[in-house]
Amino acid sequence: MARARGLADELQQVTLQELPFEDRFDALMTIDAMENVPPEDWPRVAANLARAVHPGGPLYVTVEEGDEAEVAAAFDRLAAAGVPAVPGEVVEGDVAGYHYYPGRERALRWLLGAGLELLAEAVDQQEGWRYRHLLLGRKGGRKEST
Protein backbone atom coordinates (compact mmCIF):
# COMPACT_ATOMS: atom_id res chain seq x y z
CA MET A 1 0.00 0.00 0.00
CA ALA A 2 2.86 2.39 0.82
CA ARG A 3 4.45 1.78 -2.57
CA ALA A 4 1.13 2.30 -4.36
CA ARG A 5 0.69 5.63 -2.57
CA GLY A 6 4.20 6.76 -3.45
CA LEU A 7 5.36 6.61 0.18
CA ALA A 8 8.06 3.98 -0.27
CA ASP A 9 10.24 2.62 -3.04
CA GLU A 10 11.39 -0.37 -1.00
CA LEU A 11 9.81 -2.18 1.93
CA GLN A 12 11.46 -4.77 4.17
CA GLN A 13 10.14 -6.40 7.29
CA VAL A 14 13.01 -7.13 9.69
CA THR A 15 13.42 -7.16 13.44
CA LEU A 16 15.56 -4.60 15.19
CA GLN A 17 17.77 -7.52 16.26
CA GLU A 18 18.45 -8.45 12.63
CA LEU A 19 18.56 -4.97 11.08
CA PRO A 20 20.92 -5.53 8.12
CA PHE A 21 21.65 -1.96 7.02
CA GLU A 22 24.99 -0.18 7.12
CA ASP A 23 25.38 3.59 6.71
CA ARG A 24 22.07 3.60 4.83
CA PHE A 25 19.80 6.22 6.37
CA ASP A 26 19.99 9.98 6.89
CA ALA A 27 17.93 9.57 10.08
CA LEU A 28 16.19 6.82 12.06
CA MET A 29 13.28 6.68 14.49
CA THR A 30 12.16 3.99 16.89
CA ILE A 31 8.92 5.00 18.57
CA ASP A 32 7.25 2.76 21.14
CA ALA A 33 9.42 -0.18 20.10
CA MET A 34 12.39 -0.48 22.44
CA GLU A 35 10.27 -1.67 25.38
CA ASN A 36 9.68 -4.88 23.40
CA VAL A 37 13.42 -5.60 23.18
CA PRO A 38 14.66 -7.95 25.93
CA PRO A 39 17.78 -6.89 27.87
CA GLU A 40 20.02 -9.48 26.22
CA ASP A 41 19.23 -7.96 22.80
CA TRP A 42 19.62 -4.26 23.67
CA PRO A 43 23.37 -4.07 22.90
CA ARG A 44 22.86 -5.70 19.49
CA VAL A 45 19.86 -3.52 18.65
CA ALA A 46 21.75 -0.36 19.68
CA ALA A 47 24.71 -1.40 17.50
CA ASN A 48 22.39 -2.16 14.58
CA LEU A 49 20.72 1.25 14.83
CA ALA A 50 24.08 3.04 15.10
CA ARG A 51 25.43 1.15 12.11
CA ALA A 52 22.34 1.82 9.96
CA VAL A 53 22.36 5.63 10.26
CA HIS A 54 24.92 7.81 8.47
CA PRO A 55 27.68 9.20 10.71
CA GLY A 56 26.32 12.38 12.25
CA GLY A 57 22.78 11.34 11.35
CA PRO A 58 20.10 11.72 14.02
CA LEU A 59 18.47 8.78 15.74
CA TYR A 60 15.28 9.41 17.70
CA VAL A 61 14.44 6.75 20.30
CA THR A 62 11.62 6.60 22.80
CA VAL A 63 12.24 4.60 25.96
CA GLU A 64 9.14 3.83 27.98
CA GLU A 65 9.46 3.96 31.74
CA GLY A 66 6.92 2.26 33.94
CA ASP A 67 6.12 3.08 37.54
CA GLU A 68 9.18 1.78 39.43
CA ALA A 69 7.13 0.20 42.22
CA GLU A 70 4.85 -1.58 39.74
CA VAL A 71 7.78 -2.81 37.65
CA ALA A 72 9.56 -4.09 40.80
CA ALA A 73 6.39 -5.84 41.99
CA ALA A 74 5.95 -7.47 38.58
CA PHE A 75 9.51 -8.82 38.78
CA ASP A 76 8.89 -10.13 42.30
CA ARG A 77 5.81 -12.01 41.07
CA LEU A 78 7.72 -13.50 38.14
CA ALA A 79 10.61 -14.55 40.39
CA ALA A 80 8.21 -16.07 42.94
CA ALA A 81 6.60 -18.08 40.13
CA GLY A 82 10.01 -19.40 39.07
CA VAL A 83 10.08 -17.46 35.80
CA PRO A 84 13.66 -16.71 34.68
CA ALA A 85 13.18 -12.94 34.54
CA VAL A 86 15.44 -9.97 35.21
CA PRO A 87 14.49 -6.71 36.92
CA GLY A 88 12.62 -4.48 34.50
CA GLU A 89 10.78 -7.26 32.68
CA VAL A 90 6.98 -7.17 32.84
CA VAL A 91 4.81 -9.90 31.34
CA GLU A 92 1.39 -9.10 32.71
CA GLY A 93 -1.27 -6.47 33.12
CA ASP A 94 -1.87 -3.78 30.55
CA VAL A 95 1.52 -3.98 28.81
CA ALA A 96 0.13 -5.98 25.88
CA GLY A 97 2.54 -8.86 26.42
CA TYR A 98 6.23 -8.57 27.11
CA HIS A 99 7.84 -5.26 28.07
CA TYR A 100 11.29 -4.44 29.37
CA TYR A 101 11.96 -1.17 31.15
CA PRO A 102 15.73 -0.68 31.39
CA GLY A 103 15.62 2.78 32.93
CA ARG A 104 17.48 5.82 31.68
CA GLU A 105 21.01 4.94 32.81
CA ARG A 106 21.06 1.41 31.43
CA ALA A 107 19.44 2.45 28.13
CA LEU A 108 21.99 5.24 27.69
CA ARG A 109 24.87 2.93 28.60
CA TRP A 110 23.86 0.58 25.78
CA LEU A 111 23.16 3.34 23.25
CA LEU A 112 26.32 5.32 23.98
CA GLY A 113 28.33 2.08 24.05
CA ALA A 114 27.18 1.45 20.47
CA GLY A 115 28.92 4.61 19.25
CA LEU A 116 26.05 7.05 19.64
CA GLU A 117 26.12 10.37 21.47
CA LEU A 118 23.25 12.03 23.30
CA LEU A 119 22.22 15.28 21.60
CA ALA A 120 18.98 16.10 23.43
CA GLU A 121 16.54 14.54 25.87
CA ALA A 122 13.02 15.15 27.09
CA VAL A 123 10.52 13.29 29.27
CA ASP A 124 6.74 13.37 29.23
CA GLN A 125 3.99 11.59 31.08
CA GLN A 126 1.27 9.76 29.15
CA GLU A 127 -1.51 7.69 30.68
CA GLY A 128 0.47 6.74 33.76
CA TRP A 129 3.70 5.89 31.92
CA ARG A 130 6.69 8.10 31.24
CA TYR A 131 8.28 8.32 27.84
CA ARG A 132 11.91 9.36 27.58
CA HIS A 133 12.64 10.93 24.21
CA LEU A 134 16.29 10.63 23.21
CA LEU A 135 17.86 12.35 20.24
CA LEU A 136 21.15 10.68 19.49
CA GLY A 137 23.74 10.96 16.76
CA ARG A 138 26.22 8.47 15.41
CA LYS A 139 29.72 9.60 16.27
CA GLY A 140 32.02 10.39 13.39
CA GLY A 141 30.31 13.35 11.76
CA ARG A 142 28.60 13.43 8.39
CA LYS A 143 30.31 11.63 5.53
CA GLU A 144 30.88 13.78 2.47
CA SER A 145 28.94 12.59 -0.58
CA THR A 146 30.89 11.93 -3.73
Within a domain: residue 12? no
Total number of domains constituting the chain: 1
Within a domain: residue 65? yes
* Residue-level pLDDT at 71: 86
Domain hosting 126: range is 23-138
* Residue-level pLDDT at 1: 77
In order, the DSSP letters of the chain are: -TTTTTS-S------GGG---SS-BS-EEE-S-GGGS-GGGHHHHHHHHHHHBPTT-EEEEEEEE--HHHHHHHHHHHHHTT----TTEE-STTSSS-EE--HHHHHHHHHHHTTEEEEEEEEEEETTEEEEEEEEEETT-PPPP-
Within a domain: residue 5? no
* Residue-level pLDDT at 95: 55
Within a domain: residue 99? yes
pTM for the full predicted model? 0.84
Return per-residue pLDDT of the chain as tens, 146 residues: 777 888 877 778 899 999 999 999 999 999 989 999 999 999 999 999 999 999 989 999 999 988 888 889 988 998 999 988 889 988 876 656 788 999 999 999 999 999 999 999 999 987 767 899 999 998 876 544 43
Within a domain: residue 1? no
Within a domain: residue 115? yes
Within a domain: residue 28? yes
CATH number for the domain spanning 78: value is: 3.40.50.150
Within a domain: residue 146? no
